[in-house]
Amino acid sequence: MTLKTLATATTFTLLCLTPAVFAQDLGTAPGVTQLIETNQCQGCNLEGADLSNLNLSNANLSGANLSNANLRGTNLSNANLSGASLSNAVLAEANLYLANLVGADLRGADLSEGTLTGANLENADLTAATLGGATLNYVTFSNASLLTADLSQADLSDANLVGANLSGARLTNASLSNADLSNADLSGADLSGTQMVSANLAEANLTQANLSNANLTGAQLETATLTEANLANTRLDNTVLAGDPIATASDEAADLTLAPQQQPPIRLFNLETANQQPGGSLSFFLGTRLFFNEQGEFGGGSGLQVNTLNVDWGITDSLQVGAAVNLYSDILPNRIVGNPVNLKYLSGALSAKYQVIEAERFNVAILGSAELLNIRTNTTSFLSGIPTDGFLTDNVFAGSVQVPFTYTFNPTLQVHVTPAVSFFPSTSNGAPFYGTVARIGAGLSWQPLERLGFFGDVQVPFGPGGNTVRARDAEIVNRPVWSAGLRYLLNPASSLDIYLTNAFGNTPATNILTLMPGSDQAAVAVSLNFDPDFGQNYAEDFRSGERTPLTPRDTQLVLDGITLTHADTLLPRTLRAQGGFGAGVGGSVATALTHDVQVELWLSDFDQTKENYRIDEVTVGAAAKVRFLDQVQGDPFSFSIKGSFGEQVSAPRGFSMAEGIFQYRPIPELALILNPKAGVIGNDTLIGAGLGINYQIWRGLQVLGEYTPFFTGETGVWSVGLRYFDPGLKLGVDVYGSNAAGRYSFSSIAAQSDPVVGVNVHWLFGGGY
């Protein structure tokens, strides 16, 4: 589309988002003149009237019909609105200080960001009303109905909510300190992150309420009903429940459980240890190993990727079971017997490990695994170099037995020795295969800092089989396998591994194998590790004190830009769905594993790129973003890194991208973004640095401007647009113009020939928003 079309679309959007454009003329509503002149209009019909930004302090509007009226920003302090009908009225940012709203009908009304200090809403009906961010301290809500109302981030300190119906209400990150909620119905309410210090909850119904991350220090809960309530990470210092003290601050800290990521490693990058997965815990390790093509004759610029997944579950403190998957689909980096070899390889393993000796400094375990390898090559006999017209498939059964020994010098330093045997067939499709491979491994794990550890390991095979294929004659031979790198804890339950290795496999039997041919190919490997909290009570982060709740503006920035990435991540137990058209057509789903760790899956049909990278088909992909600094929590700026990869559905053409995201907010309304990126597809590598702004010009309405120039000479990518995000609906809409081929991974840095106009929709679910 033309830029003229974009301007027209942008103007239309602004008109739709500006209530004043459609404001009703004051003189057209019956009774308005009387109200303006006398400040009295008892029982008047003012339905749909525009009374915004007027001074109606001390007005008498008792019994008036103000349903659907616009009272945004109006001064109604000390006004009498008792018995008035205000259903679906807009009172956002209105001043209702000491107003009388006894028995008023406020169903569906918008009182967000309003000031109601000292107001009386006894017996009022606020079903489904929006009071997000409102000042409600010392307000009387006794016996009022707040069924499914939105009170997120509202200040209800010292409020009187005796007997109020708050069933299903949303009070995330609200303040209820010193509030009286005795006999209130809070069943099914979302109170996550709420401050309820010294609140009175006597006889309150909290059945199935979400109190995760809430602060109930000193609250009165002795006669409250907490059936099936979620108390994960809830502070209960000096709180009384059923007549007994629950915890003190020191008790709460003692009750925290060390996550598996904080404990000695159950395996190094490529070597099993005698440490065990804690009983009842679960860990995921998702990674990739990139063998770059510069080391060999073949391979795309994106490298030769080996994708890995490990899952470990501690049944008891002495017994763990695990599963592992290893995937490779690419050409091998060098010829074998003079011929190029395409290899498609998928392995899966089930394993069990039992700790037979646990002493103060010395542990011994035994591990066994059963595995299946699916191997497809374009050679007649594994890797003999004899070409065929298609792929030949073989399913291979394998296994291993390992006996790791671990010696602990001190709490930060361990050494490990692991003798093992891997069992493979001696032939595959009539050609020599790996056979039985006995080996001895040794490794070191050292954690000098709370959040930083270093690992290194080496394994030496000594037959009678072998662990790699020789290029000149396809013979099976033995070569050492090694790895070395670091582990950084993002927070107690998640970590990032970065290391170098020449290992090809990651399952217990295949971790002795190298990428063929030979063992000279080295990979840069990254693994994201995560321990889900199923009631183990892991610490949320390494910060001292409570986390700062997100404001509505903070929430806006958990959504990425149009072509640039924002540094903020979703809150735990939340979901973000996004879809749109314009710069490509597609959608994505993202969630947060923990604070500071976010993963995403996407599906998109990219537009044709100007440089013709041949990705203008349906692609699927995944991404992970991890945050190291968070300005909202007190750091000087926010910083994250993000990695993504994708592949066309119809053809084996993949791409990947790595990003760094620096984000600084000099004022709450303005976010400045620096987003360096490097993307790789085939033999093409793009390196650029995105520059962007996100500025809130009105509540929820943002202007986005982004531009990415490239150091490698490609056409720069730009985008400009408007975004509106409604905090109550948790729904956002973009209207934008851009020359990007798409919004996901590599497509966001690939320009197309003509600019387009697009629309995106964002939706947040769950959590503390």
pLDDT in tens, 160-176: 999 999 999 999 999 99
Q: What is the pLDDT at residue 446?
A: 96
How many other C-beta atoms lie within 10 A of the C-beta of residue 388? 11
Q: How are the residues of the chain apportioned to helix, strand and coil, as percentages rounded to the nearest 5?
A: 5, 45, 45
How many other C-beta atoms lie within 10 A of the C-beta of residue 649? 11
Q: What is the pLDDT at residue 25?
A: 43
Q: What is the pLDDT at residue 659?
A: 97
Which range, of 194-208, 209-223, 236-250, 311-325, averages the lowest pLDDT?
A: 236-250
**Distance between CA atoms of residues 552 and 569, nearest Å:** 14
**Distance between CA atoms of residues 177 and 494, nearest Å:** 32
pLDDT in tens, 218-250: 888 888 998 888 888 787 776 766 443 333 333
**Distance between CA atoms of residues 98 and 57, nearest Å:** 10
pLDDT in tens, 536-552: 888 888 877 778 888 88
Tell me the average pLDDT across 293-319.
Answer: 77
Tokens found for residue 449: 């800092």
For the chain, give the longest Cα–Cα distance.
Answer: 103
Report the chain's mean pLDDT, rounded to a whole number.
88
SS (H, E, C) 578-610: EEEEECEEEEEEEEEEECCEEEEEEEEECCCCC
Tokens found for residue 98: 């000491």
| Residues 702 and 671 sit within 8 Å (Cβ to Cβ) | no
CA–CA distance from 590 to each of 573, 623, 694, 712 (Å)?
A: 11, 9, 21, 31
Q: In the beta sheet, which residues pair with residue 405?
A: 364, 417
Q: What is the pLDDT at residue 304?
A: 78
Strands (E), 220-318: 240-241, 244-245, 282-291, 304-314
Reported residue count of the chain is 769
Which amino acid would we find at residue 492? P
pLDDT in tens, 42-67: 999 999 999 999 999 999 999 999 99
Q: What is the pLDDT at residue 254?
A: 40
pLDDT in tens, 584-597: 899 999 999 988 99
pLDDT in tens, 371-380: 999 988 876 5
Tell me the average pLDDT across 507-522.
Answer: 89
Would the pLDDT of 335 be above 50? Answer: yes
Q: Please report the sign of the dihedral spanned by the C-alpha atoms of residue 583, residue 588, residue 591, residue 592.
A: negative
Cα-trace Rg, the chain: 31
Say whether pTM exceeds 0.85. no
Would the pLDDT of 9 be above 80? Answer: no
| Residues 711 and 687 sit within 8 Å (Cβ to Cβ) | yes
Tokens found for residue 91: 């009172």
pLDDT in tens, 342-356: 788 899 999 999 999
First-to-last alpha carbon distance for the chain, in angstroms, is: 36
How many other C-beta atoms lie within 10 A of the C-beta of residue 361? 10
Question: Which domains, and CATH codes, for the chain?
Answer: 260-530 (2.40.160.40), 552-766 (2.40.160.40)
> What is the percentage of the chain residues whose pLDDT exceeds 70?
89
Would the pLDDT of 18 be above 90? Answer: no
Tokens found for residue 436: 């039985």
**Distance between CA atoms of residues 373 and 468, nearest Å:** 15
Output phi, psi for 576, to 5 deg. -125, 125
**Distance between CA atoms of residues 249 and 236, nearest Å:** 8
Distance of CA 148 to the CA centre of its chain: 26
Q: What is the pLDDT at residue 472?
A: 84
Whether the ω angle into residue 652 lies within 30 degrees of 0, i.e. cis, is: no
> Number of helices (H) and strands (E), helices first, in the chain?
4, 31
**Which of 151, 122, 155 shows the shortest CA–CA distance to 136?**
155
Which amino acid would we find at residue 720? V
Q: What is the pLDDT at residue 383?
A: 60
Please tell me which residue, 648 or 769, carries the higher pLDDT value. Answer: 648
Whether the ω angle into residue 727 lies within 30 degrees of 0, i.e. cis, is: no
SS (H, E, C) 456-477: EEEEEEEEECCCEECCCCCCEE
Cα–Cα–Cα angle for 434, 466, 484, rounded to 5 degrees: 115
| Residues 507 and 347 sit within 8 Å (Cβ to Cβ) | yes
**Distance between CA atoms of residues 138 and 159, nearest Å:** 4
For residue 240, give every residue at least 6 positions away whose Cβ sits within 8 Å of its Cβ, in sequence order, or none. Answer: 220, 221, 222, 246
Q: What is the pLDDT at residue 197?
A: 87
Tokens found for residue 597: 């760790």
Q: What is the pLDDT at residue 616?
A: 62
- Stated as kind and residue range, the H or E segment containing 406 is strand 405-410
Would the pLDDT of 16 be above 80? Answer: no
Here the contacts of 25-32 (C-beta below 8 Å, separation 24 or greater) are 25/50, 26/50, 26/51, 31/64
> Backbone dihedral region of 754: left (phi > 0), alpha (psi from -120 to 50 degrees) or beta?
beta
Tokens found for residue 748: 């966001």
Tokens found for residue 75: 């001064």
Q: What is the pLDDT at residue 379?
A: 63
Would the pLDDT of 603 be above 80? Answer: yes
Output phi, psi for 656, to 5 deg. -150, 165
> Backbone dihedral region of 674: left (phi > 0), alpha (psi from -120 to 50 degrees) or beta?
beta
Distance of CA 634 to the CA centre of its chain: 20
